[in-house]
């Protein structure tokens, strides 16, 4: 009996930039083996309030109507392009135009449609070469309670062979999120390297149990458990990515995790990971 391929619900926020379109193209190619519900979403509250034409309360309704129509029109054009790019019978497409912030609308859609994953570019309209993540992506990574796959500008390798999952084994992982990692890796038979970076290779009972849980949940994948003798977390991860030709890095975003330590303090410029590969941020939240 053939194993049933899981169905995914994917949220694709867009600001209609090239970077957003690149992330959309990546997702359309990456999930081609799965039945997938794609939700293309444009949240335009900030664009409305930043409008140069919004000079007084008198024009509030007119400007809001104009920005709303532009949003809907942009999504219609996007949907036309998407259907040309990926006329995949496994795909269903939906568009959502919302007078809301990106974070609030993303959380709302994630809850309403039980979204498995948000896919977006690491940058939006602003394509500053000196930054790794744009402010929109930062906000989603930090505040939206849903896994995020962030795709760098112009990145196009949609067949990952080698995935890196650094962990300190201190955080009990959610089965749903580890299963997501497992299912993303399966179609491409990707190897998953679970990397423990520490000056000591001795694990506490808590760490041993968390490691066993990861091994059990990823049992359908080819998993390599690796140790790195170092206390320089960011540098070790960066070197590992280069040495092992890693295609995707998966990290847990929660308190005291490697991802929080590296992204949310001012370490971002120092670390940056030279991140020219996709980042899968697992939010580790309780969801149905």
- For residue 25, give the DSSP letter: H
Q: Which residue has the higher pLDDT, 3 or 136?
A: 136
Structural domain boundaries, residue 209:
162-282
Residue 251 lies in a domain: yes
Question: For position 267, what pLDDT does the model report?
Answer: 40
Are 171 and 64 found together in one domain? no
Judgement on whether residues 170 and 267 belong to the same structural domain of the protein: yes
Dig out the tokens for 236 from the structure. Answer: 């070790």
CATH number at residue 271: 3.40.50.620
* Residue 103's pLDDT band (cuts 50, 70, 90): very high
Whether 137 has a pLDDT exceeding 90, the answer reads no
Mean per-residue pLDDT, 247-265: 70
pLDDT at 14 over 90: yes
Q: Would you state the structure tokens that stand for residue 133, as one six-digit string? A: 């993540």
* DSSP state letters, 27-51: HHHHTTTS-EEEEEEEE-HHHHHT-
Task: Put residue 284 in one of left, alpha, beta given phi > 0 → left and psi -120 to 50 → alpha.
Answer: left
pTM of the model: 0.89
Per-residue pLDDT tens digits for 22-59: 999 999 999 999 999 999 999 999 888 888 888 889 88
Please, which pLDDT band fits residue 151 given cuts at 50, 70 and 90?
very high
Establish if 157 belongs to a structural domain: no
Under DSSP, is residue 251 helix (H, G, I), strand (E, B) or coil? strand
Give the pLDDT of residue 252: 86
How many structural domains is the chain composed of?
A: 2
Which of 126, 151, 176 represents a domain boundary (last residue)?
A: 151
How far does CA 207 lie from the centroid of its chain?
A: 26
């Amino acid at each position: 009996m053939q194993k049933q391929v899981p169905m995914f619900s994917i949220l694709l926020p867009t600001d209609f930039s090239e970077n957003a379109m690149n992330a959309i193209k990546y997702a359309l190619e990456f999930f081609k083996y799965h039945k997938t519900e794609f939700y293309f979403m444009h949240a335009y509250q900030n664009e409305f309030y930043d409008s140069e034409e919004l000079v007084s309360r008198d024009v509030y309704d007119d400007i809001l109507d104009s920005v709303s129509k532009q949003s809907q029109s942009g999504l219609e054009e996007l949907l036309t392009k998407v259907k040309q790019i990926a006329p995949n019978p496994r795909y269903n497409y939906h568009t959502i135009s919302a007078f809301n912030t990106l974070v609030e609308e993303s959380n709302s859609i994630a809850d309403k449609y039980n979204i498995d994953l948000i896919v977006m570019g690491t940058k939006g309209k602003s394509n500053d070469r000196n930054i790794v993540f744009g402010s929109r992506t930062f906000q989603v990574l930090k505040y939206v309670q849903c896994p995020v796959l962030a795709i760098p500008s112009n990145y196009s390798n949609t067949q990952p062979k080698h995935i890196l999952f650094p962990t300190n084994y201190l955080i009990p992982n959610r089965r749903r999120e580890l299963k997501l990692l497992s299912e993303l890796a399966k179609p491409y038979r990707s190897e998953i390297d679970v990397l423990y970076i520490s000056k000591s290779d001795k694990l506490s009972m808590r760490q041993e149990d968390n490691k066993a849980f990861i091994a059990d949940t990823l049992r359908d994948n080819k998993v390599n458990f690796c140790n790195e003798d170092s206390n320089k977390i960011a540098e070790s991860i960066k070197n590992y990515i280069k040495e092992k030709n890693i295609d995707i890095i998966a990290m847990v975003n929660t308190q005291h995790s490697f991802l929080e330590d590296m992204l949310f303090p001012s370490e971002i410029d120092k670390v940056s990971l030279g991140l020219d590969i996709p980042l899968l941020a697992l939010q580790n939240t309780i969801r149905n």
